[in-house]
Amino acid sequence: MSDENQNKTSYNADSIQALEGMEHVRMRPSMYIGDVGPRGLHHLVYEVVDNSIDEALAGHCDTITVAITPGNGIRVRDNGRGIPVDMHKKEGVSALQVVMTKIGAGGKFDKDSYKVSGGLHGVGVSCVNALSNHLKAVVFRNGKVYEQEYQRGKPLYDVREIGTTDYRGTEVTFQPDDSIFKDTEYKYETLASRLRELSFLNAGVKLTLIDERITEDNGEFKQEQFVSENGLKEFVDLLDKGRHRITAECIHFSGEKEGVPIDIAFQFNNSFAENMHSYVNNINTIEGGTHISGFRRALTRTLKNYGDKEGLFTKHKVEIAGDDFREGLTGVISVKVGEPQFEGQTKTKLGNSEIALAVDRFVSEYLQYWLEENPKDAKTIIEKVILAAKARTAAKKAREMVQRKNVLTGAGLPGKLSDCSSRDPQKCEIYLVEGDSAGGTAKQGRDREFQAILPLRGKILNVEKALEHKIYENEEIKNMFQALGVTIGTEEDDKALNITKLRYHKIIIMTDADVDGSHIRTLILTLFFRYMKELVENGLVYIATPPLYQVKKGTKIKYCWSDNQRDALIRELGGESGTGVGVQRYKGLGEMNADQLWDTTMNPEFRTLKKVTIDSAAEADRVFSMLMGDEVPPRREFIEANARYANVDL
């Protein structure tokens, strides 16, 4: 071996890069904020806002303002105590500089400063500083104004005093580093959703979002204010806006048990799914944990004891299971934990065993009183439980029939499926295509090696309104389950989706670019969100983006995905008048020939796929229930508010 090769392959102390603090954040940003895509970009804002919320939790702040600046920067201002600016004895610099430049520094590690705090990993604002081109911190404290600026985490000068003030608080302004983030455009609705959520979780705190990139007709910047007087009760009402509740009002318990502050609101509706959302110190614990376990255990036991005592189960010869007590349940649980232990795949599952017992005892005590004081509603809930048990039995039989049929008929693949040659799920993708006509075009245009096509006839069943056993009996839905190779029910959970035999690692929804196509896409997404959520959570579901227009002049043919793109292309090819430029509007996939569909929508080299994600399960739950539920007014409000973002064909 030559010396050159030996140097390349040797692994010794010289090979280890000793990266500290800010350098390591910049080299490995995903370790700190999850990713460098839109989720990570927005997470920067949440880290700064979390500091302000911590001040609110400690009783020192009630107003927080978040502004998106014209260049996609962010400004966060609160009326808390203001970050300390005096000299830090150990570090030899201002405490403000320590907080802004040292990973893990901050008052939340001092139990005397904060009993509980948000912020999942304690990386906080210093991480935001490291990942910003520029950050400026202004502190209003003790009647004076202080400031310090940073470039990619490094101070540009020492903390300096710049004036006097009657105000108290902190203002942080930052510009995300465009050399790290793929896309630096902030989405107003994404931030609005989080601030709305925080307002419910912190009743009485006023959160304002301002978009300085958009000026409204009245000459003012687009903005919204979020403040909740009744907290979680209002949160549940919002989540259930599209559903019909079966009790007179939302059930809300708030208090403390064994030193743990617990806040719970829930109600039962006429739907067939459980929609329980959980939080620890304002962090959305999407994987649940011990607080959810304690709630479920107490709910099941207390309702069962009440039903037995009142003789409400005796007439019905049906076996009641834990799931039956939670069908049609929408709720939110929020706990404050001094030292939370997180586990699970995304570190958002609460692991503290003592919290389960505290929540269990708390819910048992309060729910028992509520049932005794509301006998009419209590009886309605028990009747819902009995119906759920009967429906569960029917659904289990329907699932078993579908899955047994697969085994008996061999591969069990639907006849309409045009499968691909490869058997490697990581390489394979399946297109769920609207209609036989488009399906035929897609079959001709695809790459048969790794692309499978499953045409869907018409609009699939709206699972938001259907009994579970009806879902498994639906032909189009059965075809999807069979083609994907997924089944319902695992050893651990009778209702969990088993994806161990999933046949494709890209599931692509491809529908027409019109109102019917949008409706079909929403129906399919509702099915995935309610019954195959694991596919979405694992990042396996995508939406194809076929072009809206073909623009042609002579032999030049180009495609456009928006009206603005079309108008610009017409001017480019035909001048201001557009003389001799032909425009074709594609309303259906079937209007394209196979080559065009391949070139624009299916060729991995040129296509654009939109990955379906669930950044906020609570927000997704609210939107799906509103769009696909029984109540018309909330759906009309949503459509009117978002009409300018939609392609509406009249």
Summarize pLDDT for 444-476 with one digit per residue, the tens: 999 999 999 999 987 788 888 787 778 888 889
Are residues 323 and 383 both part of a single domain? yes
One-letter amino acid for residue 53 of the chain: I
Does residue 573 sit within a domain? yes
pLDDT at 577: 62
109, 115, 117, 122 alpha-carbon torsion, rounded to 10° = 10
Higher pLDDT, 121 or 513: 513
Q: Which domain-ending residue is among 345, 362, 391?
A: 391
Active site residue 419: no
285 within 8 A of 349, measured Cβ to Cβ: yes
Q: Which of the four pLDDT bands, split at 50, 70 and 90, describes residue 122? A: very low
For the segment 406-453, what is each residue's pLDDT rounded down to a tens digit?
A: 544 444 688 889 999 999 999 999 999 988 888 899 999 999 999 999
Q: In the listed set 196, 226, 256, which residue is the last one of a domain according to the structure?
A: 226
Task: Say whether both 35 and 168 belong to one domain.
Answer: yes
Supply the pTM of this predicted model. Answer: 0.72
Comparing CA positions, the residue from 65, 94, 67, 69 lying closest to residue 80 is: 65
Residue 214 shares a structural domain with residue 67: yes
Does residue 403 lie within any of the structural domains? Answer: no
- Give residue 395's pLDDT band: very low, low, confident or very high (50, 70, 90): confident
Q: Report how many domains make up the chain.
A: 4
Q: For residue 495, is it within any domain?
A: yes
Mean pLDDT score, 331-344: 90
> Do residue 347 and residue 458 come from a single domain?
no
Report residue 307 as tokens.
């039903």
The rounded Cα 446 to chain-centroid distance in angstroms is 32
Q: Answer yes or no: do 287 and 374 share one domain.
A: yes
Active-site position among 323, 516, 537, 615: 516
Are 538 and 563 contained in the same domain? Answer: no
Measured over the CA atoms of residue 272, residue 498, residue 349 and residue 303, the dihedral's sign is: positive
Question: For 564-573, how does the pLDDT look when each residue is reduced to its tens digit (9 = 90+)?
Answer: 889 889 988 8
pLDDT category, 14, cuts 50, 70, 90? very low
- pLDDT value of position 277: 93
What is the rounded distance in angstroms from the CA atom of residue 113 to the CA atom of residue 59?
A: 11
- Domain contains 36: yes
Question: Is 404 a member of any domain?
Answer: no
Examine residue 632 and state whether it is found in any structural domain, yes or no: no
DSSP 142-172: TTEEEEEEEETTEESS--EEEEE-S--EEEE
213 and 293 together in one domain: no
Largest CA distance in the chain: 86
Same domain, 165 and 245: no
Verify whether residue 512 is a known catalytic residue. Answer: yes
Q: How confident is the model at residue 111 (pLDDT cuts 50, 70, 90)?
A: very low
Same structural domain for residues 139 and 40?
yes
**Confidence at 589, pLDDT banded by 50, 70, 90:** confident
Which pLDDT band holds residue 586 (cuts at 50, 70, 90)?
A: confident
Q: How confident is the model at residue 7 (pLDDT cuts 50, 70, 90)?
A: very low
The CATH number given to whatever domain includes residue 175 is: 3.30.565.10
The reported pLDDT for the residue numbered 521 is 87
Instruction: Band the pLDDT of 12: cuts 50, 70, 90.
Output: very low
Residue 256 reports pLDDT greater than 80: yes
Q: Is residue 600 part of a domain?
A: no
Query: Are 524 and 578 members of one domain?
Result: no
Which is nearest to 142 in space by CA: 172, 159, 167, 160? 167
Which region among 19-33, 253-267, 321-335 has the lowest average model confidence (pLDDT)? 19-33
**Termini Cα distance of the chain:** 73
Q: Is the pLDDT of residue 650 over 50?
A: no
pLDDT at 646: 42
Catalytic position from the list 50, 514, 591, 621: 514
327 is catalytic: no
Q: Cα(370)–Cα(365) distance, rounded to whole angstroms?
A: 9
Q: What is the mean pLDDT of the chain?
A: 85
- Residue tagged active-site, from 171, 419, 512, 599: 512
- Write down the catalytic residue from 50, 429, 434, 464: 434
pLDDT at position 637 is: 63
Q: Residue 23: pLDDT band by 50, 70, 90 thresholds? A: confident
Higher pLDDT pick, 641 / 313? 313
Does 384 map to a domain? yes
Residue 618 pLDDT class (50, 70, 90 cuts): confident
Q: Does 183 qualify as catalytic in the annotation?
A: no
Residue 57 makes CB contacts below 8 A (sequence gap 6+) with: 114, 115, 116, 117, 118, 202, 281, 282, 336
Task: Give the residue from 100, 81, 55 showing the smallest Cα distance to 207.
Answer: 55
Same structural domain, 91 and 204: yes
Same domain for 259 and 139?
Answer: no
The CATH number that applies at residue 496 is 3.40.50.670
Per-residue pLDDT reduced to its tens digit, 176-191: 999 999 889 999 999 9
Last residue of a domain, one of 391, 425, 451: 391
Q: Which domain holds residue 506?
A: 411-546+610-614
